[in-house]
Every structure is written in structure tokens, then in C-alpha cells.
Amino acid sequence: MSELASEIRQAPATKTCPACAEEIKAAALICPHCRIQQPRPPRTAEEQARIRGAGIVFLIIVVAVVVFVAWAGSHPPPLN
């Protein structure tokens, strides 16, 4: 594993305010210099993994429903 890759994975401690271009804490919600509300801080790797896991579960459910609907459509129940 290269050092560059490990640096990219780590969340930065500071960021640049898009409004006043001052360096502020990455977790800051409001810029201490210009009081402009900051966009949401980047998600942590743990949060991204959790979101990805939930997405996979959702995808499996969607695929299961689609397969069931397709199967039910090609195999209509007998009408008595």
C-alpha cells in the first residue's frame, strides 16, 4: 500500500471555505470567518461502507421483487 493511497483515505483535518477561501476545520458547519454555512462534511470510510452495505441489501430486495413479478407474470395463477 502506498503512502499516497493511505493519505487519500484519511479525511482532511481542514478545508477551504468556498465563500471566503479561508482555511477552516473540515468538520465546521459554519465558517468562523464569514459565518457562511458549509456543505456537509465528507463522509467517513465507515459511513461509506455502511451506506454501501445498505445499498447492496436494497439492490437484492429490488432484484428479488423484479424476479418474482416476472415469474408471476409468466406463470399466472389458474382461474377457477
Residue ranges in contact with Zn ion by CB under 5 A: 17, 19-20, 31, 33-34
Q: Taking the CA atoms of the chain, what radius of gyration do you get in angstroms?
A: 23
> Between 21 and 57, whose beta carbon lies closer to Zn ion?
21
Shortest separation between residue 41's beta carbon and Zn ion, angstroms: 15
CA–CA dist 8, 27 (Å, integer): 17
Residue 18 burial (10 A CB sphere; 0-12, 13-18, 19+) = exposed
- In angstroms, give the least distance from the CB of 15 to Zn ion: 10
For residue 2, the minimal CB distance to Zn ion (Å) is 33
